[in-house]
Structure 1
C-alpha cells in the first residue's frame, strides 16, 4: 500500500519537469524511486527547484514530510561539481555531497564523481579480510568455505556498482589466488592449467 501511495505522488509530480538530457542522445525520467527513496534528475536548476516544490506540496497533503538532513544534492555544470548551487525542501537546505557524502543502494556518492577511491577501498577490504581469515583458528578447508560464501559475495557488489579498473581487479584476484593456494596446500609450481586439467578417470569415451 505504501509503494502504491508513493507511486501516485510521483505520477502527480513528474509533469513538473521534462526528461533529463544526459548527452549523447540519452535521456532519463526526472523521477526515480525505490521504496521511500526518491531521486530527482533534471537538466536545469529551475526544473529541480520546481520539482522539489511540487513534491513538498504533495507530501504535505499526505501528512508526510521530507527529511532534508537525510537527503543530498549534487549539481554539475560543464562537467564539474558546482558547490555554490544548493536546494531546499520543507524550508530546510539539503546538504550537498561535498559536505556529506551519501551511500545509496550500496554505492557511495561524493564530490569527486569518480570511482578511483572506491577501487582502492575494495582492494584494501580484500587484503584486510584475507588477512583476518588467515589468522583465524579455523582449519584450512573452512577458510576456503568462508572465502567462497562470505568474502567473495561481499566483494562482488562493489565490483558491480563501481567502475573499477582492471589492474585493481587483477590485484584482488592475485591476493585471493595466493591465499587459496596456501590453504589448499598447492605447490608453488602448480599452474592454473594443471588445476583445470581433465584426469583419465574423468574421460568418458563415446560409443561407436
Structure 2
C-alpha cells in the first residue's frame, strides 16, 4: 500500500500559564508522533505576554526545536500580520490598500 500523506492546517494553542503551554506542546508532539506526523517549528510562532507586555525571554520547543517568536519572525494569520509591537496603527493603511486592490480586481472582471 502506498504511504499516505497528510497535513495539518493552522492550529492555535492558547494557555494562561507557561507550564500549561509546555505540557500542551509535549502532549501535541506525542500525539503527532503516534500519528506518524511531525510539526514544523520553523513554520510556527510563539507569543508570550506577561502583565500586558510581550515577554521576549520565554521560548517554547516542539520536536526538540525552538519555536520562533513573533518578534524574531512576524507571522501572517487569517490575512493579518502579527509582530511583537502588537499595535494596530498600520492596520488601517493595510486595510485600505487591500480593499483598493480587491475592488480593482473586481472591476477587471
TM-score bracket relative to the smaller structure: 0.7 to 0.9
For the structure 1 residues 107 and 34, does the alpha-carbon distance in structure 2 shift closer, same or farther, using more than 3 Å as the test?
A: farther
Q: How well do the aligned residues superpose, as a CA RMSD in angstroms? A: 7.4
Question: 1:55 offset after TM fit, Å?
Answer: 0.6
For the structure 1 residues 100 and 177, does the alpha-carbon distance in structure 2 shift closer, same or farther, using more than 3 Å as the test?
A: same
Q: How big is each residue's C-alpha offset from its partner over 1:113-158, in whole Å with a ceiling of 9 and x where there is no partner?
A: 12211112233455688899xxxxxxxxxxxxxxxxxxxxxxxxxx
What secondary structure, in the 3-state scheme, does the structure 2 residue paired with 1:32 have? coil
Q: Quick one: distance in 2 between partners of 1:32 and 1:83?
A: 36
Q: Is the 8 A contact 1:31 1:41 kept in 2?
A: no
Q: Is the 8 A contact 1:32 1:40 kept in 2?
A: no
Question: 1:87 offset after TM fit, Å?
Answer: 0.3
Question: 1:37 offset after TM fit, Å?
Answer: 1.5
For the structure 1 residues 31 and 106, does the alpha-carbon distance in structure 2 shift closer, same or farther, using more than 3 Å as the test?
A: farther
Unaligned runs of 5+ in 1: 1-27, 133-175, 180-208
Q: Quick one: distance in 2 between partners of 1:129 and 1:66?
A: 34
Question: 1:112 offset after TM fit, Å?
Answer: 1.4
Question: 1:178 offset after TM fit, Å?
Answer: 19
Q: Quick one: distance in 1 between partners of 2:18 and 2:3?
A: 12
Q: Is the 8 A contact 1:66 1:90 kept in 2?
A: yes
Count of matched residue pairs: 109
Q: Relative contact order (alpha carbons < 8 A, sep ≥ 6): 1 or 2 greater?
A: 2
Structure 1 residue 30 and structure 2 residue 24: aligned? Answer: no
Q: Equivalent residue for 1:43?
A: 16
Question: 1:36 offset after TM fit, Å?
Answer: 2.5
Unaligned runs of 5+ in 2: none
Scaled by the length of structure 1, what TM-score is found? 0.43
